[in-house]
Structure 1
Amino acid sequence: MDLMLSLALKEWAVAVEALEAGETILLLRKGGIREGKGGFKVEQNRVLLYPTFEHQKPDLLKSEYCKKVVSVESGWHPETVRIGSFAEITDAFLVAHEPAIKALLPYHIWNEQFITERLKWKPSEPVSVLLLRVYKLAETRIIPYRQEYGGCKSWMDIKELVSLENSVAILSDGEYNKQANAIRQTIANPV
């Protein structure tokens, strides 16, 4: 395993916090406006988790996550960014069937309105369902914000290499496999 990493996946800070707390292993993505041709694609299976505050909307979250959102004005960015974890993307499914996506509601932090909005935005594109095995870094990194980190894009190469050495899995193998298998089963057989 390569012990240094610079590729990051940008995600709402509230979602990164939930992943780091072991409250979810699932992300729903269609990608940002600046994804490029072909839309959202998993570029690598190991990524740093980069929390972003812009575009977080409390009304698109389940009630227990609404109060955790820090609202910011469009274009705002922090002076520094906390990188506290990385993830192995163990599964990536493309799901276009609305009942299958709605069946995943118990497994993530978003509400039904979020699902409806995701399906309406770029309706010809499926939703990417990612399962992430998250690891807490042995040493949290505080990196300076750079202008190129902004914008509606999912993937970015941060300028600092981050060590993965001595990182610890948030969930045990057994707990991660139990949750991942339940989600895989739900995708294969939506009610």
Structure 2
Amino acid sequence: MGEHTIALKEWASTISALLEGEQLILLRKGGIHEETRHFETRSDSFYLYPTYEHQRRELLKPEVRHYVDDSLRELESPGLLTGQTYLYAWAEVADDFLVTSEQELSRLYDFHMWEANFAEERLRWKRQDPLHVLLLRVHRLNRPLHVPALPEYGGCKSWIELQELPRPDKDNLTPVLSLTEFAEKARVLRRALRSS
């Protein structure tokens, strides 16, 4: 799979939080239909491909549940082309932490949008595998891309290869956070994860 065409599937609501700088991390164990049966980082940079079907308001903290509502309104927007998916974000992996205990996970509670029970459920699923905490530096696409919503992009898998879509041009990318802002937020997160 070529790096320039890879995309990570993620809830549209989560992508919105990433694009607003409200969140820097994703929690991943992998989809049910992963080729390797567990999650692995397939590239250090990729598009974020929005998904809608598994989003549930009650899985998010009350103060951020509006992200689900907003994403569903966007999905029903008359401006959205039928059979198309819009890409708004490009991400670079700054770190991939492996979390194996609820104690470690609890230290990240303030850094993500999910209710504690849902985050813990992700940790417990496929218990033998660690939970990947991807620290991402996210860039907004100045000119969003629309791609066909092909059947092969569906299903419970993390990674997809987007057909005939190159890496974004640098002039089409705006970092959500400046390098200084990102470095400071990443420092705070790393310190929390290391604390005892």
Q: Same fold (TM over 0.5)?
A: yes
Q: Per the alignment, in what secondary structure is the counterpart of residue 41 of structure 1?
A: coil
CA contact (8 A) 2:15 2:48 kept: yes
Q: Cα distance, 1:38 vs. partner?
A: 5.0
Report what 2:67 is aligned to. 68
Q: Cα distance, 1:172 vs. partner?
A: 0.7
Report what 1:185 is aligned to. 191
Query: What 5-or-longer segments of structure 2 have no aligned partner?
Result: 73-81
Among candidates 117, 138, 141, match of residue 137 of structure 1: 141
Q: Write out per-residue CA displacement over residues 17-74 of structure 1, whole angstroms, 9 at most, x where no aligned residue.
A: 10011111111111100112250000110010111001112111111222332598xx
Q: Which moved more, 1:171-180 or 1:115-124?
A: 115-124
Matched residues in 1 for 2:5 and 2:63: separation?
Answer: 32
Q: Write out per-residue CA displacement over residues 162-186 of structure 1, whole angstroms, 9 at most, x where no aligned residue.
A: 4232111110111100111111112
Greater percentage in helix = 2
Q: Per the alignment, in what secondary structure is the counterpart of residue 152 of structure 1?
A: coil
Report what 2:182 is aligned to. 176
The amino acid of 1:177's aligned partner reads: A
Matched residues in 2 for 1:11 and 1:69: separation?
Answer: 12
CA contact (8 A) 1:89 1:133 kept: yes
Alignment root-mean-square deviation, CA: 1.8
Q: Which runs of 4+ in 1 moved over 6 A?
A: none
- Mapping of residues 1-191 of structure 1, within 5 Å: 5-70=4-69, 79-162=83-166, 163-166=168-171, 167-190=173-196
Identity %: 40
Greater percentage in strand = 1
Query: What 5-or-longer segments of structure 1 have no aligned partner?
Result: 73-77
Q: Per the alignment, in what secondary structure is the counterpart of residue 69 of structure 1?
A: helix
The amino acid of 1:179's aligned partner reads: K
Q: Write out per-residue CA displacement over residues 92-150 of structure 1, whole angstroms, 9 at most, x where no aligned residue.
A: 01110111111101011111111221122112211100000001113110111100000
CA contact (8 A) 1:85 1:136 kept: yes
Matched residues in 1 for 2:9 and 2:88: separation?
Answer: 13
Matched residues in 2 for 1:112 and 1:57: separation?
Answer: 14
Matched residues in 1 for 2:52 and 2:107: separation?
Answer: 27
CA contact (8 A) 1:100 1:186 kept: no
The amino acid of 2:191's aligned partner reads: Q
